Amino acid sequence: MPKKIGILTSGGDCAGLNAVIRAVVHAAAHKGWETHGILDGTAGLLGETPQTRLLTTEEFNGNVMRMGGTILGTTNKGDPFHYPMPDGSHKDRTSEIIDNYNKLGLDALISIGGDGSHDILRRIAQQGSIKMVGIPKTIDNDIGETETSVGYDTAVMVATEALDRLQPTAASHDRVMILEVMGRDAGHIALSTGIAGGADIILIPEIDYSMENIVATIKKVKKEERNFALIVVSEAVKTPQGEKVAAKNSEGKTLYGGIGAYIADEISKKAEVEARVTVLGHVQRGSPPTYRDRLLATAFGVKAVNLIDEGKFDRMVAWKNREVVDIAIADAIKAYHAVDPDDTLVHTARGIGISFGD
C-alpha cells in the first residue's frame, strides 16, 4: 500500500533542513509514497485545521535544497505541554496536536529537530500512538549518540570564514579580534572554528579560564610572534567569577550574548591592547549548506524513509563510524553531548599552542 508520511521541522532553523526534506520527498516518491509537510513545527497542528501541504519531487528538483532555513517554517517557542495563552495562563495543547495529526491520515511522521524538540515530540508521539522517526539537526552539535547533526558543519564554515575576514583587519590595526559564536552550553562550534581559523585562544563553557592566562597569552603572542591576536569565545562562557552573560526573553528562555564584549573590555584594560568584538549570531544558521551538511542531510533523509518502510519507530537516525545508523530517540535525548575536555580536538588545539585560558 502507498503510504502518506508527514514531515516537520522543529526548534531553531539551520542550514541543511531543506536538503533533508528534499531527500525524504525523493526517497518516499521512489517507493510510491506521498510526503506532506506540516508547517511551522507543532504550531501547524494547533487550531481548527492542520496546516500542511503536499511536497512534490517537482518542487524539490534541486533548487530548494541549496537554500538555508526551512521552507516548512519552524518554531522554538510554545512548549505544547505548557503552552502560553494570551491571558497569561498555560495550557496543555498536546491533544489538539494529536487530533489534528489523526485528521491528516498519515502513516508516519518524520521529525527534524534537536534534543529539546525530540523530547517534546517523542512524548506527544507516545501519548497519541504516532509512529515517529527523528532526524537530528542543530548547529550546536550537542545531540548525543550521533557524531554530528545537520547544520553544524555549515555553522563552523561560516564562523571560520568570519575569522578569515577578521585576521587581515586585526593585523592592519595591531588589534585583538574576538569572535563570539553560538553553541549554547556546548563549545563545539568555538573549538572547531578556533582550530580551523587560526585562533590564539579558544574559550568554551566546558573549560574554566582566568583573565590572567588570557592576558599572558596575548602579551606573549605580541612580543614573540606577531602584532595581532584572534580569540574565539563560545556564547555560554561565563565570566571568571562564574556569572552568566545572558538575558531572558518574555518566555523565560535564556538568550546568550555579551561575553565577547566582557572579554574585550578586560583585555583592553589588562593587556593594554585594542580589542574589538564580532558577535556572529544567526548568520551561522542562514547560509547555504556545505557539501558535508548536504550529504548528511541526504543520508539521514533516505535512512528515515527506510526505517518507516521497515516498521521501525521511536528511532532517530545517527552518524557513527562513517555510517548512518538508527538509535532509540530516548537514548539520544539522554546522552547530551558537550565538549569533553579530553576530546581529541582539545588535544589538537593544545598541540599547536592554542590556549584555552586555563
Shortest CA distance to 129 belongs to which of 330, 313, 352? 313
**Grid cell at residue 143:** 545531540
Q: Are 101 and 128 in contact (CB under 8 A)?
A: yes
Window 313-352: residues binding ligand F6P (CB under 6 A)? none
Establish if 152 lies at the interface with ligand F6P (CB under 6 A): no
Q: Is 182 an interacting residue with respect to ligand F6P (CB under 6 A)?
A: yes
246: its cell numbers: 545572558
**Residues of span 244-263 touching ligand F6P by CB under 6 A:** 255-256
Q: Are 105 and 2 in contact (CB under 8 A)?
A: no
Exactly one of 111, 117, 138, 298 binds ligand F6P (CB under 6 A); that residue is 138
How far CA 5 is from CA of 94, 109, 110, 134, 228, in Å, comes to 20, 6, 7, 13, 54
State yes or no: residue 184 binds ligand F6P (CB under 6 A).
yes
Strand runs labelled E in 197-312:
201-203, 229-234, 246-248, 254-256, 275-279
Judged by CB under 6 A, the stretch of 134-142, 157-165, 263-271, 324-332 that binds ligand F6P is 134-142
Residues making up the chain, counted from first to last: 358
Residues with active-site annotation: 140
* Residue 213 engages ligand F6P in binding (rule: CB under 6 A): no
Among 12, 113, 205, 301, binds ligand F6P (CB under 6 A): 12
| Nearer to ligand F6P among residue 55 and residue 232 (C-beta) | 232
Q: Which is nearer to ligand F6P, 83 or 256 (CB)?
A: 256
Element (H, E) at 318: strand 315-320
> Nearest residue by C-beta to ligand F6P?
182
Indicate the residue among 76 and 306 with the shorter CB distance to ligand F6P: 76
User: Which of 6, 183, 197, 205 lies at the binding interface for ligand F6P (CB under 6 A)?
Assistant: 183
Q: Least separation, in Å, of the C-beta of 26 and ligand F6P?
A: 27
Question: Which helix (H) or strand (E) covers residue 181, if one does?
Answer: strand 176-181
Least Å distance, CB 147 to ligand F6P, is 18
- Footprint of ligand F6P on residues 279-308 (CB under 6 A)? 285
Sign, Cα dihedral of 298, 306, 120, 99: positive
Q: Is residue 339 classed as helix, strand or coil in its secondary structure?
A: coil
Please say which residue, 5 or 182, places its beta carbon nearer to ligand F6P: 182
Task: Please name the residues in contact with 61: beta carbons below 8 A apart, sequence gap of 6 or more.
Answer: none
Q: Which is nearer to ligand F6P, 19 or 280 (CB)?
A: 280
CA distance 278 to 230: 11
Contacts to ligand F6P by CB under 6 A: 12, 76, 138-140, 182-184, 235, 255-256, 285
